[in-house]
Structure 1
Amino acid sequence: MAEGRKIAIAGAGGNLGKPTLKALLSKGVHTITAVQRAESTTEFPPEVIVKKGSFTDESFLVETLRGQDVLIVIVPIPNMDLGDLFIKAAIEAGVPYILPTEFGVDSPKVVGEHSMMGPKVARRNLIEKSGTSSWIAVISNFWLDLNIQIGLWGFDVKGRKAELFRGADAKISTTTLARTSEGVAALLSLPEAQLAQYKNKSFYISSFELSQKEIFGAIKNATGTTDADWNVTEKDATEIIRECDPKIKAGDGFAEWTRLFVMFFQGMDGSNYEDKAVDLSKYGVPAEDLGEVVYRSVAGL
């Protein structure tokens, strides 16, 4: 049986926040508080408690978070530093569990490979050293559906262009936004004795284990196309990485992600964690269908 908790969410109106809120509400046992900026116009279901104020107002954040069992921080990449304000307030308010903005790669595994990873590890350390709160890092790796739409797998679906990474044929763990949300809801609905086992640890979620070529195959199936319909090129993975380096130094954030994607398909540590992924079917979460996921991903493009 799901255990009800008081859960505050920062970023409940975003790409991951919306499905996470929906998944938590579907459990029917949690009391959810959405923390919003004073000027926000995002609307939530009537059962959601909404607290509005300034994110730089420490007293507002501490008072809002006092009495909460869990804080979920889901902030967009340009505003990652906001997570620090929420985390510090949650520690001050004595919130037992904090889910910082992880929802991606296993930060300690790639701490030197992306500028976001060092600060993520620092946030974990801040929480752990507080003595009052514990972190749980939800590890989902790269989102299959969202990154098909963005083009970071190497595929421009609308333009029918594909760049295959030569020498990078490893299979990686990948999830969907929906599966990540369902995983968060399953995690936070565990009985306390089970949830406590994840204090200051990672909770690994995986939808599929795929190579870049397998993703391309699924996209072709979903679009009813063949190689003949695409402008397909191959480029050596090490060359792509080398070309990304000066772009990254110039502040190109897209290049930083491209570099990491290619390195994952080279099989770098942390790219595949199927041996650690939680079997969500034990919590009533059915397996996903790759064809359906990819079809939905390309349908809106």
Structure 2
Amino acid sequence: MSHVKNVAIVGATGTIGSYIVAELLKAGKHQITAVTRQDSNAIIPNGVNVVKVDYTNHSSLVAALRGQDVLVITMSVKAPKESQIQLIDAAADAGVRWILPNEWGLDKANEPFADAALLGPPSRAVRNHIEERGVSDWVGVVCGFWYDFSLGGSPARYGFDFNDRSVLFFDNGTQPINTTTFPQVGRAVARLLDLPTTKGKEGMASLADFRNNYLYISSFCVSQKDMLESVLRVTDTRMDDWAVRHEDSAELYAQGLRMMKEGNMVGFIQAMYVRTFFPNDDGNFGKTRGLHNELLGLPVEDIDEFTRLAITRKDDKY
């Protein structure tokens, strides 16, 4: 059975990429190359090759990706929109067989939901472009929103404000969604890339099983009320210590869209998050799609551990 060996990653020191690199290094089964901009001063971990590229120079990108089996793209939402297409074109010309595009998060296979959550069209265009080039296959990682990032910081995410001990429940706060920690995403990618590329023994999973398809993983399937119960345990507080209010999710979603039209991008965050909590299980992909946690041997995590981490993010900006 063949396995991928050479893995190039864009965003190796970023929020998601750093965890993926750490898990790949821990496994010790791949040659890892960090693809960075020429002016980058990022400190790359020992054991990772570094190739600096000029995104405006196609030949530079192709040279960086030649000989790679996998390209993992983890880019900031602030990155130029054309950067991912430039990487995909270079990967095709370099003969890269597998691409994990910037597909982290919501279930884009549920197209009506993805479109309503404002992420469908751009991600669909990227996947279509990979397929149209006809060289690489893609694997999307569906992990939901990241738990500690979304619970902490902006109340426009999971509704919590730790500075004033308040929480806004969408509807009654009982709609469960899948949400994942950064370490779990790193483990999932490392274990995915450790699978054989083609079918072997009967019943054995392979990378080919996910060809032009999605990997579904999750740390927790929880509602806002479940999150609050974890918060109460971690902070040693009671319900009486918290100001809890309820608002209709459909109205909050519409409000977020209006805010976007007025140029307030907090509305984008609000609309995207609230739409995930609609009472129809769009955000509960473990129920509607099933999970690959067991297939990858992912551990069961302690939600309270990551709730503590979330609270340290209470002053994060949007």
Is TM (by shorter chain) over 0.5?
Answer: yes
RMSD across aligned positions (CA):
2.0
* Uncovered stretches (5+) of structure 2, i.e. residues with no partner: 199-205
| 1:183 alignment counterpart | 188
Does 2:55 correspond to 1:55?
Answer: yes
* Aligned equivalent of 1:126: 129
In the TM superposition, what is the alpha-carbon distance from 1:164 to its structure 2 partner? 1.2
Alignment of 1:191-206 (within 5 A): 191-193=196-198, 194-206=206-218
| 1:90-116 per-position Cα deviation (integer Å, ceiling 9, x unaligned) | 112111000000110022422322443
Please list every run of at least 4 consecutive aligned residues from structure 1 whose deviation after the TM superposition is greater than 6 angstroms.
Answer: none
Q: Secondary structure at the match of 2:168?
A: strand
Contact 2:175 2:281 in 1 (8 A): no
Shift of 1:15: 0.6
Q: Deviations over 1:5-36 (max 9, x none)?
A: 10000011111111111011111110000011
Please state how far the C-alpha of 1:86 moved relative to its aligned partner. Answer: 0.9
Distance 2:313 2:149 in 1: 11
The equivalences for 1:155-174 within 5 A come to 155-167=160-172, 169-174=174-179
8 Å Cα contact 1:108-1:121 kept in structure 2: no
* Cα pair 1:167 1:266 within 8 Å, conserved: no
Q: Which residue number in structure 2 is paired with residue 64 of structure 1?
A: 64
CA shift, 1:285, in A, is 2.9
Q: TM-score, normalised by structure 2?
A: 0.88
The size of the alignment, in residue pairs, is: 301
Where in structure 2 are the equivalents of 1:23-62 lying within 5 Å? 23-62=23-62
> How far is 1:185 from its partner?
0.8
Q: Tell me the percent identity.
A: 34
Match of 2:309 among 276, 296, 299: 296
- Greater mean deviation of Cα atoms: 219-228 or 48-57: 219-228
TM-score where L is the length of structure 1: 0.93
Closer, same or farther: CA 198–19 of 1 in aligned 2, 3 Å: same
Where structure 1 has 5 or more consecutive residues not aligned to the other structure, the ranges are: none
Secondary structure of residue in 2 paired with 1:63: helix
The answer for the alignment partner of 1:264 in structure 2 is 276
Structure 2 counterpart of 1:255, from 263, 267, 273? 267
| Counterpart residue identity of residue 191, structure 1 | P
Match of 1:236 among 248, 256, 260: 248
